Amino acid sequence: MSAQSVKNKKTFYSKEEKHEIVKRYRKLLSVCRSTIKPEDRKRIREAFNFALKAHEDHRRKTGEPYIYHPISVAQIAVEEIGLGATSVICSLIHDVAEDTDYTLSDIEDYFGSEVARIIDGLTKISDIFDQADYVQAENFRKMLLTLSDDVRVILIKLADRLHNMRTVDALPPKKQLKVAHETLYLFAPLAHRLGFYAIKSELEDLALRTTDPEIYFTISQKLKDTAEKRKKFIQKFNLPIRRALKEQNFDFDIVGRTKFVSAIWSKMQKKEIPFKEVYDIFAVRIILNSPEEREKADCWRAYSIVTDIYRPNPDRLRDWISTPKANGYESLHTTVMSNDGKWVEVQIRTRRMDEIADKGYAAHWKYKESKPGESGIDKWLKRIREILKTSEKDALDFIDDFKLNLFSDEIFVFTPKGELRTLPIGSTALDFAYSIHTQIGNNCLGVKVNHKLVPLNHELKSGDQVEIITSEKQKPKPDWINYAITARAKGKIKAALKEQQKKLAEEGKEILNRKLKQLKADTDQNYFNQMVKYFGLKTHLDLYYEVAKGNITIKEIKNFINDTDKTGGFLSYLKKPFSKSKDPDKIILDKEGDVIRQQLKEHPDTLLIGDGLENLNYTLSSCCNPIPGDDVFGFITVSEGIKIHRNNCPNAIQLLSKYAYRVVKAKWITKKSIAFLSGFNIKGIDDIGIINNITNIISKEHNINIRSIDIESNAGTFNGSVMLYVRDTQHLKSLIRKLSKVKGVKSVTRIGKD
């Protein structure tokens, strides 16, 4: 095969498409101009022609030529992530090995071993989310292996996912939801951890637009409506700061940054407040052009100037210059009171810090050699390697541990000698012990926090000083697994327990062999295999361990022998006391038709389910209480048939990302006179007659039956919840709108909307 130029190659593209392809390619080159060398330009041209030929008969779901996608991914890699020529080449041909007849050997022949290695990594993880849950998690572990080897694989994958989310509207609705929830589950947190704030936020915005378009477009419109007012406020706020910084001879820029829609929605949910009460919709960013040796001092000088002009909130100072985040983020954040009586967040950083905040890991490469020691991102990648080395075989446990430990925020604690240690929020004293050294963790007898003795599962807080008391006689215990939350600690504890199990199993093996000889039974390998199956165990090791622990007695061994015929086969399977029940989430639904029909409630006339939109039985999920009019999906459970969830259900991210193969379409088709239980939370200022006004609107004006009402009054305010029966979403929304206008009512929010 050979890569040919656009002019000489016969293609399936129309004249207009050829023109558009060339236009997009030239734009890519324009973006690359400042970062690539002349010889790189030639290699990029070869990669472009190679991809153009390979994908000549491929189309995207939009109907556009497929080549648009790799060009866009390459542009994101350069313009938004900050990668170089090799990554541009890999982005252009990232789907070739998977989707065409070209092989990795062909790619290596054309572009060399480095490009082939990155493409191999991209190909291995390309189908990560198209598998069943366990295989999917295994593939994710492989993806992280490539992350610890060459992070460019993950960065190009992020660029690929960002473009896929920007064009997700072309996919069928069910596929859109699957891709959006995968993005929220893994890719957005991964982008955040690698320092790509803008990409992380855009991914979350695009996911919100897909999963809850009503919320997304409502907030977007409100941002547009208030944009001009916001611009004038920022200009007025910045004016005295500009003057003061110029007087002190600072070289600087000041910009206003509006929060992303998803961040605003998250704040509204967390604080249970309406849009108009989100005070930090925007932030002011001061970017200083300071030499590296003066960065810290200049940032604090600028902070002093700002707080001389506006009064700061002492509880809202965040110093990520003295202690940067694990992803390398450095900045000073403070919240000050403006002259108009509004709180404003001010971020102060240098140009270098701003570039790292924007471009994350890629920008870190640029500055790495100028700073001694390990950066936060280097330590993070090192922690990934440790987790991969110590992780258990259970990939699903691994993926949960990874998300918990590496996508979480951090706390900072100290050793008795004052050494700083970074741990995930929620870490315990036992996690700290294992973060120091494996042996210290294994021999941990007790812990002192701030000179006071605490239990091993004591949750640490930032600023704690922790001292570990050890004893050589101490060994890890099974309940320690529940005391630790970090993947490192859990992995080390499991490894130690397994080692203990092996030693005990050796004793069990001798005991079992001795008993079988006494009973004149076989002791060959096949016989032991049958025993493992008989007692519902997984391995010989488990069998020997249970014997050593005394859980399998001589009487039960005799029962096994009596139930086994002379040829060594089973006469029957008795009830096996040691068999563990299967995890319902791992059961293959080979009897899907039977499972579907085992229902608790039937509404076949109001909801159509499945790709064929059939009338099937279902139950409504209690975690989000869906009602007619909500955007919903069906989830096939093991014991309760199909359960209906709202698209924005709190559990939707996990269900759609980890178990997408068990998700079915669902669509409301009629609005019969069926009452569905729903509810809302309501807050406001307590006044005579306000509760009566609320109940009158519910019962008389909207003719709704109230199931329960729980409202408490405290120091002039009231707060409560109301559960009632409504026909559909519009019925409930109409009621909430009416209640929101009642004098004294400050907020009305649907229960389960977050």
Instruction: Say what the pLDDT of residue 670 is.
Output: 53
Residue with tokens 């392809």: 21
740 phi and psi angles, rounded to 5 deg: -65, -25
Residues 160 and 240 in one domain: no
| Better pLDDT: 242 or 569 | 242
pLDDT, one tens digit per residue, over 319-355 is: 989 888 766 788 999 999 998 888 899 999 999 888 8
What is residue 289's DSSP assignment?
-
Mean pLDDT lowest for which of 21-35, 354-368, 470-484, 560-574? 560-574
Residues, the chain, total? 754
Residues 239 and 345 in one domain: yes
Question: Is position 17 annotated as part of the catalytic site?
Answer: no
What is residue 151's DSSP assignment?
T
Set 98, 109, 308, 510: catalytic member: 98
Residues 204 and 64 in one domain: yes
Give the list of residues 6+ apart from residue 268 with CB closer than 8 angstroms, or none: 274, 275, 278
Residues 314 and 234 in one domain: yes
Instruction: Say what the pLDDT of residue 485 is.
Output: 84
CATH of the domain at 695: 3.30.70.260
- Whether 573 is in a domain gets the answer no
| Better pLDDT: 304 or 401 | 304
Q: Which of 40, 111, 15, 91 is nearest to 23 (CA)?
A: 15
Residues 352 and 237 in one domain: yes
Give yes or no for a contact between 447 and 433, defined as CB atoms under 8 angstroms apart. yes
Residue 603: band (very low, low, confident or very high) from pLDDT cuts 50, 70, 90: very low
Q: How much is the mean pLDDT over the chain?
A: 77
Set 17, 40, 99, 114: catalytic member: 99
Give the neighbor-by-neighbor strand order of the sheet with 642-646: 607-609, 663-668, 632-636, 642-646, 619-620
Instruction: Say what the pLDDT of residue 674 is.
Output: 55
Provide the 3-class DSSP secondary structure of residue 707.
Answer: strand
Q: Which of 86, 92, 52, 54 is nearest to 71 (CA)?
A: 92
Instruction: Say what the pLDDT of residue 300 is.
Output: 95
CATH of the domain at 79: 1.10.3210.10
Question: What's the whole-model pTM score?
Answer: 0.62
> Where do the H-state alpha helices sit in 212-272?
213-225, 227-247, 261-271
Residues 97 and 190 in one domain: yes
- Whether 443 is in a domain gets the answer no
Residues 19 and 135 in one domain: yes
**Average pLDDT over every residue of 379-383:** 59
Mean pLDDT lowest for which of 231-235, 383-387, 685-689? 383-387
- Whether 713 is in a domain gets the answer yes
Residues 180 and 36 in one domain: yes
- Whether 569 is in a domain gets the answer no
pLDDT, one tens digit per residue, over 480-498 is: 988 898 878 888 898 888 8
Domain boundary among the residues 668, 693, 723 is at 668
Q: Are strands 619-620 and 642-646 parallel, antiparallel or unpaired?
A: parallel
Kindly tell me if the per-residue pLDDT of 375 is higher than 80.
no
Identify the domain containing residue 729 by its residue range: 676-750
- Find the distance separating the first CA and the last CA of the chain, reported in whole Å: 53
Longest dimension (CA), the chain: 99
Q: CA distances (Å), 125 to each of 143, 153, 157, in order? A: 6, 9, 9
What is residue 569's DSSP assignment?
-
Question: Is position 99 annotated as part of the catalytic site?
Answer: yes
- Whether 406 is in a domain gets the answer no
- Whether 183 is in a domain gets the answer yes
Instruction: Say what the pLDDT of residue 349 is.
Output: 95
Instruction: Say what the pLDDT of residue 661 is.
Output: 66
Instruction: Give the chain's domain count.
Output: 5
Instruction: Say what the pLDDT of residue 237 is.
Output: 93
C-alpha span between 325 and 331 (Å, rounded) = 9
Instruction: Say what the pLDDT of residue 303 is.
Output: 95
E strand segments, 462-591: 466-470
| Better pLDDT: 94 or 11 | 94
Kindly tell me if the per-residue pLDDT of 586 is higher than 50.
no
Instruction: Say what the pLDDT of residue 249 is.
Output: 92
Which residues pair with residue 666 across a beta bridge?
A: 609
**Average pLDDT over every residue of 138-165:** 73
CATH of the domain at 275: 3.30.460.10
| Better pLDDT: 486 or 655 | 486
Residues 631 and 687 in one domain: no
Q: Which of 431, 491, 232 is nearest to 342 (CA)?
A: 232
Instruction: Say what the pLDDT of residue 395 is.
Output: 45
Instruction: Say what the pLDDT of residue 135 is.
Output: 43
Which residues pair with residue 421 across a beta bridge?
A: 413
Residues 133 and 156 in one domain: yes
Give yes or no for a contact between 457 and 428, defined as CB atoms under 8 angstroms apart. yes
Residue with tokens 């006071």: 452
Percent of the chain with pLDDT over 90: 20
Kindly tell me if the per-residue pLDDT of 371 is higher than 50.
no
Instruction: Say what the pLDDT of residue 261 is.
Output: 92
Q: Which of 631, 547, 715 is nearest to 212 (CA)?
A: 631
Domain boundary among the residues 215, 245, 277 is at 215
Kindly tell me if the per-residue pLDDT of 602 is higher than 60.
no
Residues 291 and 244 in one domain: yes
Mean pLDDT lowest for which of 316-325, 404-413, 472-481, 633-642? 404-413
Handedness of CA 300, 304, 309, 314 (dihedral sign): positive
**Average pLDDT over every residue of 409-419:** 79
Instruction: Say what the pLDDT of residue 202 is.
Output: 93
Instruction: Say what the pLDDT of residue 146 is.
Output: 53
Tokens linked to 441: 């963790």
| Better pLDDT: 547 or 140 | 547
Most confident listed range (265-274, 366-375, 659-668) = 265-274
Residue 534: band (very low, low, confident or very high) from pLDDT cuts 50, 70, 90: confident
Residues 33 and 176 in one domain: yes
Instruction: Say what the pLDDT of residue 606 is.
Output: 52
Q: 710-735: buried (b, 16+ CB within 10 Å) or exposed (e) per residue? A: ebeeeeeebbbebebbbbbbebbeeb
- Whether 463 is in a domain gets the answer no
**Average pLDDT over every residue of 639-667:** 74
Q: Are strands 282-288 and 252-258 parallel, antiparallel or unpaired?
A: antiparallel
Kindly tell me if the per-residue pLDDT of 4 is higher than 50.
no
Kindly tell me if the per-residue pLDDT of 374 is higher than 70.
no
Most confident listed range (6-10, 540-544, 565-569) = 540-544
pLDDT, one tens digit per residue, over 102-125 is: 888 888 888 888 888 888 878 766
C-alpha span between 230 and 253 (Å, rounded) = 18
**Average pLDDT over every residue of 199-222:** 92
- Whether 86 is in a domain gets the answer yes
Give yes or no for a contact between 405 and 387, defined as CB atoms under 8 angstroms apart. yes
Instruction: Say what the pLDDT of residue 537 is.
Output: 77
